[in-house]
Amino acid sequence: MNSSLNFIGMEVSVIGLGLVLMLADLFVPAERRRFIGYLGIGVLGLLLLFSLGGDGSCSTFGSVFNGSFVNDPLSLFFKRFFLVAAILVLFIAAEFSDRLSEGSIAEYYSLIVFALAGMLFAASANDFVMLFVSVELITITFYVLVSYQRSKIAALEAGVKYLILGALSSAFMVFGIALIWGTTGKLNFTELAAVAGQYGDSKIFLLGVLLVLVGLGFKIAAFPFQIWAPDVYQGAPTPTTAFLAVGSKAAGFVLLLRVLFSAVPSVTAQWGNLLIVISGITILYGNLCALPQRNLKRLLGYSSISHAGYLLLGVAALNASGQAAILYYLAGYLFTVLAGFLVIALVLRHLDTEDISGLAGLNQRSPLLAATMTISMVSLAGIPPLAGFFGKFLLIKSAVEAAQLTCNHGYYCLIFTALAGVVISLYYYFGVIKVMYWSKEAKDLTIIELSAPAKVTAWVCILGIFWLGLFPNTVLNMANAAAAVFAVVVK
C-alpha cells in the first residue's frame, strides 16, 4: 500500500497543494492574494523538476491499484505536459486576477490545481473507473472555472452550457461504460484488450465503446460534439479558456489514445474510415466557422476545434508515428495557445468585448506582445520554423505512411482536407497579425506596461515554440517512447 501511494505521489502532492492554496486564502490579506499563485507555481515547478530529473513518483514505471493506475512513458509525457500547462496558466491567472475579484483569486488557483490533479489522474488512467472519475474531476472543476466571473452574464451562460452538455456527454459515457462492462465484464484496459477481439461483432459492445468515445469526443471538441466549444471559450475567463484549450483537450486525447489503442485496439483497427471522416469534418468545420469570426476568444474556440481535427488525423493514421505526432503536436500546441491567451489576457482584459480590433496597433503598444501573438498565430497556422509546423509535418507524415501502407485513398482525401484547412486558417490567423501591424483601426496607442512574470511567461512561450520548431529531437524522442506503449499492447 505504501508503495502504491508512492506511485501517486505527484497526484497527492498536487491535491495537497490545492488544499493549501484554498486555505491560504484565509490567512493572506485580500490585496496580496494574487501572489498565492506564485506559491502554486513554485510547487508545481518543483514537481516538474522532479519529474524531469527522473526521480519523481511518476517516473517509476509500473501499475498499481489492480492495474487501474499506470505509470508509463505516456503518462510521464502527459504529466509533464499538464504541469507545464498549469504553471503557465497560473501565470496568466495571476495577471488576470483583477478581473476575477468577485470570487477569491486563491480559490481560482486551487481550482486550477484540482483540475490539474484530474488531468494527472487521466494521464495514468488504465481502467474505466479511473477514466470516469478523472474526467469528472476535470469537468466539474471546469464548470466552476468557466463561470467564475459570476457577475458576467456571459460567464454564467457559458458555465450552464458547459454544464448541461458536459453532463449529457458524461451520461453517454457512463452508459457506454456500463455496456462495455456488461458485455465483457472487464473494466481494466489491459484486460479488456485481451478479450476485445472476441466482441468485435457484438453491437452492444461496439455501442458501448462508441458512447465512451462520445464522452471523450466532447472533451476534445471533435465533430459532431464540438458545438459547445465556441460559446464556452468565449464566455469563460481567459485563463480558464486557456486551460480548457490545452489541459482539458490534452486530457481528452490521452484518454482517447488509451481507450482506442490500449483498451480496444482490435476494434479501433476497423474504424479508420470513421476517424478519417470525423477528423476531416472537424478540420473543415472549425476553420470555416472561424473565417468570419471577429471575437478573438471565439475565434480561438473554433480554431481549437480545427486543431482537434488535425490531432485526430494522427489518431486516424492508426500507427505509432501518428500517436507520437499527436503528442508532439500537443506539446507545440501548449506553448502556442498559451502564448495567444496570454496576450489576450493582458491586452483585452480592460475591454468589454474581445473583438480583434482590440489588438489594433499592438505593435506600437508593446512589441513583445505583438511578437508573441504573431508567433503564436504563425505556429497555429503551422509555418516553419515554429512548433506548429513540425507537429503538422509529423501528422501529415503519419497519414501518408498510413495511406501507403493501407492503400486507403481516404487518407489522401483527409490530408488534402487538412491542407485546405491550413490554407483557410492562414486567412484568419494572418488577419490577426494584420490587425496588430497595419490596421487603421488603431486608436488607443498607449504603451502597455508588462509585469516581470508576464514577460517571463511570454518569453517561455516564445522559446518553447522555437525550441519545438527548431530542435525537435528531445521531445520527439519522448513522444516516440510514449507512443511505444501502444506497440506493446498491439503485440
Partner 1 sequence: MHVGLQHYLAVSMILFCLGLLGVILRRNLLVIYMSLELMLNAANLALVSFSRFNDKLDGQVLVFFIITVAAAEVAVGLALIVALFRKRQSAHVEDLTSMKL
Partner 2 sequence: MTTSILTYIAGWPIIAALVLLVVPRNYRVIIRAIAVLATLISAVLAVKMFCQFVPGANGFQFEQQIPWVDSLGISYHVGVDGLNVGLILMGAIVAFAATLCSFEIQTREKEFYILLLVMSGGILGAFASLDLFFFYFLHELALIPTFIMIGVWGRGEKKNYATFQITLYLSLGALIALVGLIALYVASGANTFDIPKIIEHAKTNPLATNVQNFIFPLLLFGFGILVSLWPFHSWAPLGYGVAPSPTAMLHAGVLKKFGLYGLIRIALPVLPAALTTPILSPSFFNHFPFGWLPAFTQHWLLNLTWPYVLALLCVGNILYVGWVAMRQRDLNMLIGNSSVAHMGFIFLGIASLSLIGISGAILIMVAHGFLAALTFALSGYIYKQTGSLEMSELGGLCRKLPFIGTALLMAAMAGCGLPGFANFAGEVTVFFGAWKVFPAITFIALWGALVIGGIYMTRAIRNVLHGPLPEKWNTMADASHVWRKLPYALLLASLLVFGFWPRLLTDKINPDADKIVERVTAPAKAMDKVLVQADNSGVRN
Partner 3 sequence: MKYEILPWLILFLPLLSAAVITLFTLRCKTTSSLISIGAIVAGFVMTVVFINANGFHPAVSETMTNWLNFGGPLQIDFGLKLDALSLMMLLIVTGVGGAIHIYSYGYMDEDPSKARFFAFLSLFTFSMLGIVLANNFVMMFIFWELVGVSSYLLIGFWYEKPSAGDAAKKAFITNRLGDFGFLAGILMVWGLLGSLNFGVLKGAMETNPAALGCCATIAGLLVFCGAVGKSAQFPLHVWLPDAMEGPTPVSALIHAATMVAAGVYMLCRTLFLYTPDALHVIAYIGGFTALLAALIAVQQNDIKRIIAYSTLSQLGYMVMAVGLAGPTPAMFHLTTHAFFKALLFLSAGSVILGMHHEQDIWQMGNLRKKMPITFVTFLIGALALSGLWPLSGFFSKDSILGQAYGQHNYLLFIIGVFIAGLTTFYTFRLFFVVFFGQEKSKAASHAHESSLVITLPLIVLAVFSAIGGLIGIEGIYHYNFPIEGEQSAGFIAALFEPFKASPVAALLGLLAFAIGLVAAWALYAKAATDPLPAKLGGMATAMKNKFYFDELYEATFIRAHDGIAAVVNWIDQWILEGCGIGLVRGGTNLSGRMLRHLQTGNLQTYAFLFVLGVSLVLYFVLRK
Report the interface residues with partner 2, using CB under 8 A: 374, 378, 381, 383-385, 389, 393, 396-397, 400-401, 403-405, 407, 415-416, 419, 422-423, 426-427, 430, 433-434, 437-438, 472-473, 476-477, 480
Other beta carbons within 10 angstroms of residue 293's beta carbon come to 19
214 binds, among partner 3, partner 1, partner 2, none (CB under 5 to 8 A by kind): partner 3
271 binds, among partner 3, partner 2, partner 1, none (CB under 5 to 8 A by kind): partner 3
Minimum CB–partner distance for residue 407 and partner 3 (Å): 21
If the CB atoms of residues 19 and 154 are measured against partner 3, the closer one turns out to be 154
Residues 62-81, one symbol each (x = binds partner 3 by CB under 8 A, - = not), give --------------------
Region binding partner 3 by CB under 8 A among candidate stretches 289-297, 325-333, 381-389, 445-453: 289-297
Neighbour-count burial for 251-276, b at 16+ CB within 10 Å, e otherwise: bbbbbbbbbbbbbbbebbeebbeebb
351 binds, among partner 3, partner 2, partner 1, none (CB under 5 to 8 A by kind): none
285 binds, among partner 1, partner 2, partner 3, none (CB under 5 to 8 A by kind): partner 3
Size of site (CB under 8 A) for partner 3: 36
Q: Is 227 in the site for partner 3 (CB under 8 A)?
A: yes
User: Grid coordinates standing for 349?
Assistant: 482584459
Q: Is 229 in the site for partner 1 (CB under 8 A)?
A: no
If the CB atoms of residues 101 and 273 are measured against partner 1, the closer one turns out to be 101
Minimum CB–partner distance for residue 261 and partner 2 (Å): 19
If the CB atoms of residues 50 and 225 are measured against partner 3, the closer one turns out to be 225
Three-state secondary structure of the chain: CHHHHHHCHHHHHHHHHHHHHHHHHHHCCHHHHHHHHHHHHHHHHHHHHHHHHCCCHHHCCEEECCCCEEECHHHHHHHHHHHHHHHHHHHHHHHHHHHHCCCCHHHHHHHHHHHHHHHHHHHHECEHHHHHHHHHHHHHHHHHHHCCCCCCHHHHHHHHHHHHHHHHHHHHHHHHHHHHHHHHCCCEHHHHHHHHHHHCCCHHHHHHHHHHHHHHHHHHCCCCCCCCHHHHHHHCCHHHHHHHHHHHHHHHHHHHHHHHHHHCHHHHHHHHHHHHHHHHHHHHHHHHHHCCCCEHHHHHHHHHHHHHHHHHHHHHCCCHHHHHHHHHHHHHHHHHHHHHHHHHHHHHCCCCCCEHHHHCCHHHHCHHHHHHHHHHHHHHHCCCCCHHHHHHHHHHHHHHHHHHHHCCHHHHHHHHHHHHHHHHHHHHHHHHHHHHHHCCCCCCCCCCCCCHHHHHHHHHHHHHHHHHHHCCHHHHHHHHHHHHHHHHHHC
Q: Which of 28, 133, 420, 481 binds partner 1 (CB under 8 A)?
A: 133
Q: Is 369 in the site for partner 3 (CB under 8 A)?
A: no
Residues 266-285, one symbol each (x = binds partner 3 by CB under 8 A, - = not), give -----x--x--xx------x
Neighbour-count burial for 49-83, b at 16+ CB within 10 Å, e otherwise: ebbeeeebbbbeeebbbebbbbbbbbbbbbbbbbb
Q: Is 177 in the site for partner 1 (CB under 8 A)?
A: yes
Q: Which of 156, 281, 413, 489 binds partner 1 (CB under 8 A)?
A: 156
Minimum CB–partner distance for residue 161 and partner 3 (Å): 5
Q: Which of 88, 94, 115, 206 binds partner 3 (CB under 8 A)?
A: 206
227 binds, among partner 3, partner 2, partner 1, none (CB under 5 to 8 A by kind): partner 3
Residues 415-454, one symbol each (x = binds partner 3 by CB under 8 A, - = not), give ---------x------------------------------
If the CB atoms of residues 25 and 231 are measured against partner 1, the closer one turns out to be 231
Cα Rg for the chain, rounded, in angstroms?
A: 21
Phi, psi for residue 180 in degrees, rounded to 5: -60, -50
Q: Is 11 in the site for partner 1 (CB under 8 A)?
A: no
Q: Which of residues 182-201 bind partner 1 (CB under 8 A)?
A: 182, 185, 187
Taking the C-alpha atoms of residue 183 and residue 48, their distance in angstroms, rounded to an integer, is 41
Q: Is 228 in the site for partner 3 (CB under 8 A)?
A: yes
Residues 145-184, one symbol each (x = binds partner 3 by CB under 8 A, - = not), give ---------------xx--xx--xx--x------------
Minimum CB–partner distance for residue 302 and partner 3 (Å): 8
Residues of this chain that interact with partner 1 (CB under 8 A) are 128-129, 132-133, 136, 140, 143-144, 147, 150-151, 153-154, 156-161, 163-164, 167-168, 170-172, 174-175, 177-179, 181-182, 185, 187, 230-231, 234-235, 298
